[in-house]
Structure 1
Amino acid sequence: MRLYVGWSLMCSWLLACASSQSATSETRNYGFRGNWVWVRGPWEQVKPSRDVDEVIDQLCPAIMSLPLVQKGEYGQEYCGALYLLDGFYHASHPSPLGAMVRVTGRERKQCKPPRYVEDARGQPTTLADFHSHPWGNSPMSQQDRRGPNQLWSIRIQFDTRCRVMKLIPYLDEERPGELYERQGRLWKLIGLIKPEDKESGIVTAVDG
């Protein structure tokens, strides 16, 4: 009897786990390729433009309509890519795929920036990755700024208040990395990452 009860509980637990992961399983718009995430583009919620900033300005409002995106510690992060094709910048579909992490004792999903973009119209050139944070007043974390975690030449991040930040890491150059905040239609430089700090992602504030 104990063996039967134990097996029954284990089966229930496995079914619950499978159910909880279903929201972040692979779909026709994103998935895993080995250990890396791929995403499909373009995302119809974001209009393409010859000006990449016009695409960036559409990202947060579009992402905020997705499930759990504003649920804080219980929330879901979404990652995607910005890419160039036929002279226009596009946003990929956002992906929730990533590892489970703990925040103050609770679990949440942390999305994984995509390595590959698929667009049936041609071969895209990826410029940047973007990701959301499921709470407000959330600056770009040190983990997000660390050199080893950069895939592309630009990283975009925003929170539930649509505070948008941009990191240009300049990993292969001796110049400092640059951290910006979107203010109106302009980017304001708010910090530098010295060459010796690129591995750690430590930011040095700038005056003004």
Structure 2
Amino acid sequence: MRLPQRLRDGLALCALVSGCASPAGNDYGFADDDSKRVWARGPWERIRPSEDIDDVIDQLCPAIMTLPAATLGDYGLEYCGVIYSLGQGIYSASNPSPLAQRVQVGASRRKSCKPPMEVRDPRGRASVVADYHSHPWFPSSFSTEDRRSDTQWYSIRIQFDTHCIIHKLVPHADDDLPGEVYVREARRWKRVGSILPQDKASGRITAMDEP
């Protein structure tokens, strides 16, 4: 049986990404001195910079879903990037990267990508506020790994699925406050759960339903 072209394209890209050991082009790559660290170029031209970080967040999913294999489910890819500022009150998004320490070729319900640890923006030094990543399925919210305290690098984590349902985690990884879990509804954030301080290591969510 011949696979559909979109599926074959996704598999080919998975094979390409899994073999990457050096920069994958001008938009993202592995750092020369440490293959576990990913860099991404900024700003991403598809995302309009804004003084309102939520305006940047709302633009991300539609743009990501046009990328190769972003909607292919078990055969798809995750894309990771960051939202950052150059210190002038304007937020920008980096280019998205599908790079991971290891990418499984073929069907898998477990996908991953590594949030960039460096933004290469010729305009200045980037201060990263949030990371973002996609899941190639619907419905799909934060995974256990997404929620665990040892995976938090920045103050905010954004995740979305193929129907552009957007989730936000404010992990409070370095303080005693509960983590906060939100979903985006009608351009507003609705709080749907907390991660209690004693549950941050596991990422366990205590559900809540704010009006």
Relative to the length of structure 2, the TM-score reads 0.85
CA 197–101 in structure 1, closer or farther in 2 if over 3 Å, else same = farther
Assess if the C-alpha contact under 8 Å between 2:14 and 2:105 holds in 1. Answer: no
**1:190 is aligned to 2:186:** no
Among 17, 26, 29, the residue aligned to 2:27 = 29
What per-residue deviation string (whole Å, max 9, x for no partner) do you get for residues 90-144 of structure 1? Answer: 00000010122489x6487521111111100000110010000001110111110
Distance 1:57 1:137 in 2: 18
* Gapped regions of structure 2 (runs ≥ 5): 1-10
* 2:51 equivalent in structure 1: 50
Aligned mate of 1:113, from 107, 112, 115: 115
**4+ runs deviating over 3 angstroms:** 17-21, 105-109
Give the deviation of 1:185 after TM superposition: 1.3
Match of 2:60 in 1: 59
* 2:169–2:181 CA contact under 8 A, matched in 1: yes
Deviations 1:1-60 (A, max 9, x none): xxxxxxxxxxxxxxxx99853356411111112111111100000000000000000000
TM-score of the two chains, using structure 1 as the length reference? 0.86
Counterparts in 2 of 1:1-208, with a 5 A limit? 21-23=15-17, 25=20, 26-33=24-31, 34=34, 35-85=36-86, 86-98=88-100, 99-101=102-104, 106=108, 110-208=112-210
Matching residue's letter, 1:78: Y
Q: CA shift at 1:87, angstroms?
A: 2.0
Structure 1 residues without counterparts, runs of 5 or longer: 1-16
Contact 1:101 1:110 in 2 (8 A): no
Q: Which amino acid aligns with 2:134?
A: S
Stretch deviating more after TM superposition (105-114 or 26-35): 105-114
Q: Which amino acid aligns with 1:30?
A: Y
Q: Measure the CA separation in 2 of the matches of 1:32 and 1:124.
A: 18
Task: Return the structure number with greater helix share.
Answer: 1
Q: Alignment RMSD, CA only?
A: 2.1
**Structure 2: which amino acid aligns with 1:48?**
P
